[in-house]
Structure 1
Amino acid sequence: MDYSIRPVRADEWERVRELRLAALRDPVAHLAFVETHEAALAQPDAFWQGRAQGASEDGPGRVRQFVAETPDGRWIGTTTVLVERPSDEEPLFGEPAEKDQTQLVGVYVRPEARGGGVIDALFRTAVEWSWALPAPAVQRVRLYVHEDNARAAAFYRRFGFVPTGGRIPAPGPASGEDVEYELPRVG
């Protein structure tokens, strides 16, 4: 399958919404995402416009959403990168990060595109973008995966992420815990 990876643009909010709603209909969505399909569907257009703007290539830079796009313009996958810095005046998760890092969230590949390297390309782009951020240098890329999401955990390990031992109660509709994985900067 032919595709390219690029950041979303602010004016693509309707496409951002459509792909997110598709992700939230996935059979393992309750393990992978904090929000439900019903909650996302109820959001007004202004929510999606703000989400696309904030994660776009022209956004403020704390969030970047990448999409895999086929030559005919179809979006077949996505991941979002959140920049977390100890110096953040308004931390994304309430408490300042302990180190300069990014976090990958919102990972999704449409079923018909799975197994074709799309997720690898999305992760390479997200990690390269993380390492290229201006100083202070990002020390690690992290993510959380639900303890019962074996398919996702297997990919993360194959890509080079390792469990840190960190665990948090699973947010959103799933019970259980999310396990923290990291890809530390080398050199």
Structure 2
Amino acid sequence: MARFAIAAVSAHVATPAPADMAVTIPFAAEIGGKPFSCAETFADLGSTAAKAQAVDFRLFVSEAALVKADGTLQPIALEQDGQWQLEGLTLLEFEDASGNCVNGTAGINTALRGAVPDGDYTRLVFTIGEPFAQNHGDPTVLPSPLNITAMLWNWQNGYTFTSIDLVPSAMMDLPAGTQPLVAMR
């Protein structure tokens, strides 16, 4: 798992409990500097200026915390929404089952939502991936988002941390479902 730090934090206050501050941290997915879209063909990618169609873009984020000026971490108490967030885990999903993303799911989630004690924070840190205890289980009996089988990596009986799939331009004319993917997992 990789730990990432983001320099800017967007915190939107929404009817907080006393001494707590509600936070919504938006994420954006881009390919080649353009917003991710299931309907888009992205051009000028990589050193060969390749074209590709996006067919999936989602990732698990865990251990999200805001950082105080003194460097201490304040974990974000995630909103338990029954769909995208479970305990300390959030599934960010940018595909919407439209266009090229026919094997995806209709819902999207582009934000992490939760609460922290009122205070001044300088940045955000998080881990891409799931904690070990959540990474291995039976998706047929687990609650969402761990029941989304598209993120299951059956070979290791766990989940992929990210799923970013593209169909390169040389393969776009093949019949649907037979197109090889360039996959980052």
**Higher radius of gyration, 1 or 2:** 2
| Structure 2 length-normalised TM | 0.33
Q: Which has the higher contact order (CA 8 A, sep 6+)?
A: 2
More strand by share: 2
| Structure 1 length-normalised TM | 0.33
